[in-house]
Structure formats: C-alpha cells, structure tokens
Amino acid sequence: MAVVLYWMAISHPSQAARKMLDLKGIDYELVDVLPLNQRVHLRLAGFRGGTVPALKLEGHKIQGSRRIARAVDERWPEPPLFPADPTARARVEQAERWGEEELQPVPRRLFRFAAAENPELRRGVARVAGLPAAGLVAAASKPAAAYYARTIEADGRRATEAGVRADLAALPAMLDRADRLLADGTLALDPPNAAALQILATVRLLDAFEDLHDHVAAHSCAAPARDLFADYPARLPRVLEPAWLEPLLVPGPA
Ligand SMILES: N[C@@H](CCC(=O)N[C@@H](CS)C(=O)NCC(=O)O)C(=O)O
C-alpha cells in the first residue's frame, strides 16, 4: 500500500490527519499504534520522531499534522486544504499554527495527567484500542503514563497540577478565539480546511472530557467539531478536582 497512516484513535492530531485522507478520497492503510508506546512503535516502523500521526506516502515518511496537511495537499490537490488566495492562505496557516502549538497540547496534557492518576481511564483507553486484558494493560502502563506526564510539551508545560490549572485558566479565551475564527470564516467547513481540521479535532477531544463538557458545549465551535468528528471514540470520566474547574464557571459566550 502506497499510503499508510500510523495513528491512535484517541489522538486528536491523528483524527485530523485521517480526516484529511478521507476528504481527499485516498486509499490508505491504517496502523493502530499502542497508546503510551508511540516512541517504540514508530522508531521500529522507521520514523525518526516518536509521535502520531505519522504518514508513509509513496516512500516518504512524514510526521506532524501540519506537515502531513501540506504533503497530502500537494500530492492530491482536490479538495484543497488551503485557500488559493495568498492572503487568505496566510490567515488559515496562522490559525492552524496556533491550533497546533497552543490549543493542541491542552487536552493532551489533561489526558496525560488523568492517565497517570487514574487506572480506570487507562483501562478505558486500552478497551478503545481493542486490547485484551484491559485491566492488566492499565496496571502495566502506569510507568509509561507517569513518564508521559513528566514530558515537557512544545509550549513548555508539563502534565502536572500547575500545568493543568494553567490550561484550565487559559481555556475559555482559547475557545473564544476558536469561535471567532469560525465566525470570520478562517475555519472553513465546506469542505473543511487544514485550520478547521486542526482546531476542531482538539475542540472535539476537549468536549469528550466530562469535566469540560458543559463549558465546551456552550461555545459555537463545539457543534461543528462534533459533526466533523462524529465517530471520535473518546469519553473521559471526571478526573479533575472541582475547585480547579472554577475558571470555567464564568459565563460562556453570549
Ligand atoms: N504537534 C504534533 C504532535 C503530535 C503528538 O504529540 N502526538 C502525541 C499523541 S496526540 C504523541 O504521539 N505523543 C508521543 C510522544 O510525545 O512521545 C502534531 O500535530 O502531529
């Protein structure tokens, strides 16, 4: 098969990359990477980096959702993931970059924090990944979960209480920004452009955290995120201290 996507169903940039291939009508093979084992699996598959999504495309190995968007768009131009007009393209690229660098780490950090703290969540993830003996996997993956919780993300934060609380404080403004990008047409939906896929995949995962659902659902970006990623398999139980959620209790957008 000329196109192979290494992904994890729970991973929001993986969901965005898969949707790109689907929108282009590309015939591809999907390889499920075990959650918390990305680094090992991807190195064994010949990739230099240890993150999903990772794409083999006609002999090339491409990692990172933004690089994948460009490679796929160049090889299969229709429907386009970026506008043809240079000014409009620059706006979409700027939004996509913000989506990847600032918004994307937020649910990943919450997930890592929760996975390190909560065996039930690890059991759920093992079940979604189709693994047998999910209870054993949950116990065995505790050190890996702790390791990922200590990893520093591109934005300099870790999945610690301080990192998570800073994310929760920043989240309302970030979702307001996603709403504005949707309202001014930077995030196109018909067909979805690269910025919409990048940002709405993250919004969809945020919405799947029971702790965050009410707040996310009050934003106008939540409904298109749910439509675009209707089959997203994530449902994450309450894991955060109620007091940490206070920044989300301020009234949502009008
Ligand atoms: N910003 C990159 C990052 C992807 C990323 O961090 N993926 C996570 C899953 S959502 C991963 O595989 N992490 C493994 C690791 O950090 O070792 C992208 O958009 O592709």
Model confidence pLDDT, tens digit, residues 70-100: 999 999 999 999 999 999 999 999 999 999 9
Q: Which residues line ligand 1 (CB under 6 A)?
A: 11, 13, 38-39, 50-53, 64-65, 100, 104, 108, 151
CA of 52 to the centre of ligand 1 (A): 5
Residue 67: CA atoms inside 13 Å, Cβ hemisphere, count?
12
Predicted local distance difference test score (pLDDT) of residue 103: 97
With respect to residue 81, please indicate whether it lies within any of the assigned structural domains: no
CA of 29 to the centre of ligand 1 (A): 20
CA of 85 to the centre of ligand 1 (A): 30
- Bond prior to 13 in cis (omega within 30° of 0): no
What share of the chain in percent tops pLDDT 70?
98
Predicted local distance difference test score (pLDDT) of residue 23: 98
Domain containing 35 — which CATH number?
3.40.30.10
Of residues 200 and 37, more confidence is placed in: 200
Q: Looking at the 3D structure of the chain, how many domains does it have?
A: 2
CA of 117 to the centre of ligand 1 (A): 20
Predicted local distance difference test score (pLDDT) of residue 141: 77
User: Quick check: helix, strand or coil at residue 63?
Assistant: strand
With respect to residue 83, please indicate whether it lies within any of the assigned structural domains: no
**For the CA of 39, the nearest atom of ligand 1:** 17
Q: How confident is the model at residue 195 (pLDDT cuts 50, 70, 90)?
A: very high
- 136 and 94 assigned to the same domain: yes
- 10 and 66 assigned to the same domain: yes
Q: Would you give the DSSP letter of residue 249?
A: G
With respect to residue 150, please indicate whether it lies within any of the assigned structural domains: yes
Residue located nearest, by CA, to atom 16 of ligand 1: 51
- 95 and 71 assigned to the same domain: no
For 199, the token pair is: 């940002």
- 114 and 196 assigned to the same domain: yes
Last residue of a domain, one of 75, 97, 131: 75
- 69 and 108 assigned to the same domain: no
The domain in which residue 16 lies consists of 3-75
Predicted local distance difference test score (pLDDT) of residue 1: 66
Q: How confident is the model at residue 147 (pLDDT cuts 50, 70, 90)?
A: confident
Q: How confident is the model at residue 251 (pLDDT cuts 50, 70, 90)?
A: low
With respect to residue 84, please indicate whether it lies within any of the assigned structural domains: no
pTM: 0.93
Beta-carbon contacts of residue 243 (< 8 Å; ≥ 6 apart): none
Q: How confident is the model at residue 254 (pLDDT cuts 50, 70, 90)?
A: low
**For the CA of 42, the nearest atom of ligand 1:** 12
For 123, the token pair is: 């059991």
Q: Which of 48, 51, 153 to mutate to test the pocket of ligand 1 (most atoms within 8 A of CB)?
A: 51
- 180 and 219 assigned to the same domain: yes
Summarised one tens digit per residue, pLDDT across range 95-138 is: 999 999 999 999 999 999 988 888 887 877 777 777 777 777 77
What share of the chain in percent tops pLDDT 90?
73
Summarised one tens digit per residue, pLDDT across range 52-68 is: 999 999 999 999 999 99
Last residue of a domain, one of 75, 110, 130: 75
Of residues 88 and 139, more confidence is placed in: 88
- 101 and 227 assigned to the same domain: yes
Of residues 124 and 3, more confidence is placed in: 3
CA of 172 to the centre of ligand 1 (A): 23
- 173 and 93 assigned to the same domain: yes
For the segment 180-197, the average pLDDT, to the nearest whole number, is 98
60: part of which helix (H) or strand (E)?
A: strand 60-63
Report how far residue 61's alpha carbon sits from residue 69's, in angstroms, rounded to the nearest whole number.
13
Last residue of a domain, one of 45, 75, 105: 75
Angle between helices 105-117 and 142-150 in degrees, nearest 10:
140
CA of 19 to the centre of ligand 1 (A): 17
CA of 250 to the centre of ligand 1 (A): 31
- 56 and 114 assigned to the same domain: no
Q: Which of 52, 101, 202 to mutate to test the pocket of ligand 1 (most atoms within 8 A of CB)?
A: 52
Of residues 73 and 1, more confidence is placed in: 73
- 69 and 129 assigned to the same domain: no
